[in-house]
Amino acid sequence: MSTTRSLELTPRWSTAFEDYLTVARFGPDGSRLAAGSLSGEAALLDAETGHRSALAPHEMGVLDLSWSGDGHLAVGGQDNTVRLYAAGSLQPVTLELDRWVTSVAWSPSAPQVAVAYGRSLGVARVDGSSALSFDDHPSTVEAVGWSIDGTRVGAACYGGLHWYQPAEPEATGRVFAWKGSMLSLDVAPGGRWVASGCQDASVHVWRLWSGEDLQMAGYPTKITELAWDPTGRYLAVANPDEITLWDFAGKGPQGTTPLTLAGHEGSIHCLAYCPRTGLLASGGADGLVAVWQPPKRSGPVAAFDHDAEVVSLQWHPDGGALVTGCADGTVRVLDATAH
């Protein structure tokens, strides 16, 4: 790569878990991060030092975790449980469910968490109270997400996205339909769109809330990784070793040619935009973490090589660091310093 680097990624610390690092996420103030592994380990790690405080394990593996804006933490596992840690507490409330917890997401506006388990979507408050469930989806719910005002929560499964209003559980839900297995759900910042990746190698985007839909098809393999930029204008799609960037400004991306970001030599497993700087980071099977500055630059502006597949990735809230998780269980924090 001959691009002049304007950003440098250097390791701050690393620590190892005993198996595949499912997910690592900074808390809202950036002082700590939470990480979970398929080994079943879950822990809080100090962002500066990497010092570890163990959280309750989940037998057979941690499958997802999520922080709320207030610092509450939800951790879901293959042991059919989700543990809810109120901000500042290491003592969780445990909800025992009947299927693997595949996805957890906090409401942006209330201390309420959505939990996907089997063919159900559950909603509960951080103390475990006011629990509801929306059951009998056509297939296992693969992802959950909230509208930006927190009034609606959506479940991605076979057949489309199913939306509910937890404050009015009896109200009829809305379905954004697509006859395919939907694997992800990402609401754009600003709340105009929701995007979902599909097993049939397409991406579907619906306008919130008219339900008008667009699709991008013709990708070579299934789509699981999507990310909206912080302005809600661009949608980045990883497939499989390139990122395509669709511009939703004005009339939207119909008829446009997306920007392609190339540089990985293997499937991209994770994508993350920095809310503060708008830089895009990607991590993949080639062990590379790359940072991009689309649409200005089509090549990476920084890169760091790991010695294992990078499977989880997120920017520090202040934009000055990245946390990465690898298939071999390693968690790293990389400082991202501009020249």
Partner 1 sequence: MVNYVLREQHGKRIAVIENEFGEIGIDDALVLDAEEEIFEMNNGCICCTVRGDLIRILGNLLRRRDRFDHILIETTGLADPAPVAQTFFVDDELAARVRLDAIVTLVDAKHVVAHLDEVKPDGVENEAVEQVAFADRLVLTKTDLVDDDTVRSVVERLRSINAVADITTATKGVVDLDAVLDVGAFDLERAIDLDPAFLTDTDHQHDETVTSVGIEVTGELDGPKLNEWLGHLLSTKGVDIFRSKGILAIAGEDVRHVFQGVHMLFDSEPGQPWAPEEQRTSRMVFIGRNLDRHELTTSLQACLA
Three-state secondary structure call for residue 326: strand
Distance, in Å, from the CA atom of 254 to the CA atom of 247, rounded to the nearest integer, reads 9
Among 34, 38, 236, 243, binds partner 1 (CB under 8 A): 38
Binding mask 78-107 for partner 1 (x = CB under 8 A): x-----------------------x-----
**Binding to partner 1 by residue 115, rule CB under 8 A?**
no
Structure tokens at 19: 């198996």
In 3D, which of 259, 313, 304 has the Cα closest to residue 286?
304
Q: Which is nearer to partner 1, 147 or 224 (CB)?
A: 224
SS (H, E, C) 189-241: CCCCEEEEEECCCCEEEEECCCCCEEEECCCCCCCCCEEECCCCCEEEEECCC
Looking at residues 227 to 266 of the shown chain, list those that interact with partner 1 (rule: CB under 8 A). 240
Q: Which is nearer to partner 1, 93 or 201 (CB)?
A: 201
Distance, in Å, from the CA atom of 247 to the CA atom of 22, rounded to the nearest integer, reads 30
**CB neighbour burial string for 230-246, b if at least 16 within 10 angstroms, e if fewer:** bebbbbbbbbbbbbbbb
Among 46, 213, 318, 328, binds partner 1 (CB under 8 A): 328
**Binding to partner 1 by residue 329, rule CB under 8 A?**
yes
Structure tokens at 28: 């809202």
Candidates 43-51, 177-185, 225-233, 272-280: pick the segment binding partner 1 (CB under 8 A): 177-185
**Residue 20 beta carbon to partner 1: minimum distance, rounded to whole angstroms:** 5
State the residue for tokens 């500042």: 88
Candidates 121-129, 178-186, 246-254, 297-305: pick the segment binding partner 1 (CB under 8 A): 178-186
**Residue 148 beta carbon to partner 1: minimum distance, rounded to whole angstroms:** 28
> How many residues sit in the footprint of partner 1 (CB under 8 A)?
28
Where on the chain is the footprint of partner 1 (CB under 8 A)?
18-20, 38, 61, 78, 102, 118-119, 139-140, 142, 158, 179-181, 199-201, 220-222, 240, 267, 311, 327-329
